[in-house]
Amino acid sequence: MEELNTTAAPAEEISPEGQARENDTKTMKKMNRSVKAYQMLMLRLLLLGIVVWVLFFQIVGLTRMPSGDMEPHVKAGDMVLFYRLDRDVKAQDVIVLEKTTPDDTVTSDRTDGKALFILRVVAVAGDTVEIRDGRLVVNGNTLLESNIYSKTQPYEDYTAYPLTLGEGQCFVLADHREGGADSRYFGPVDQSDILGTVITIMRRNKL
Distance CA 82, CA 118 (A): 10
Q: What is the pLDDT of residues 153-187, one digit of tens each?
A: 999 989 999 999 999 999 999 999 998 999 999 99
Whole-structure pTM value:
0.71
Give the rounded percent of residues in the chain with a pLDDT score beyond 90.
51
Alpha-carbon distances of 130 from 33, 85, 101, 143, rounded to whole Å: 72, 30, 21, 11
Sign of torsion over alpha carbons 83, 89, 95, 101:
positive
